[in-house]
Amino acid sequence: MVANSPLDALGDPTRRQVFELLQEGPRSVGELAAELPVSRPAVSQHLRVLESAGLVTHRRQGTRHLYELDGSGVSELRAWVDGFWDEALARFKAAADTKGEAS
């Protein structure tokens, strides 16, 4: 199984930590590994999964590879959560209206 959906990718606690650290700004694999209780190869693996889920992207800066959040992927995730919330509110309103008619 490859966690290529954003929610699957964030299901892993280490990946959530990587994702949260990248919210603070771009970082290299080494910098992430220094802040987490896992090895550099493990960080690379988790970055690859986050990248395949569209949540993280990387670029070269001189000789360094920097990883950062992928705005479009994060927007999709947010749209999903917003859609879920709109749906929930619509259902709540419908339920409230029905109840109002009944009383």
Partner 1 sequence: MSDALVIEAVRKTVTVDCVVEEAFRVFTADAISWWPTETHSLYEGKVREIVFEEREGGEVYELSSDGEKGHWATVVAWEPPDRIVLAWNVANADALATEVEVRFTADGDGTRVDLEHRGWEALAEDGAEKRANYDTGWDHVLGFYERRLG
Q: Which is nearer to partner 1, 64 or 93 (CB)?
A: 64
How crowded is residue 27: how many other Cβ atoms within 10 Å of its Cβ? 20
Please give the full DSSP string across 61-98, using - where no structure is assigned. ETTEEEEEE-HHHHHHHHHHHHHHHHHHHHHHHHHHHH
Site for partner 1 in 53-92 (CB under 8 A): 63
What's the min distance (Å) between Cβ of 53 and partner 1?
A: 12
When asked if residue 12 is in the footprint of partner 1 (CB under 8 A), the reply is: yes
The site for partner 1 (CB under 8 A) is made up of: 1-3, 11-12, 38-39, 41-42, 44-45, 48-49, 63
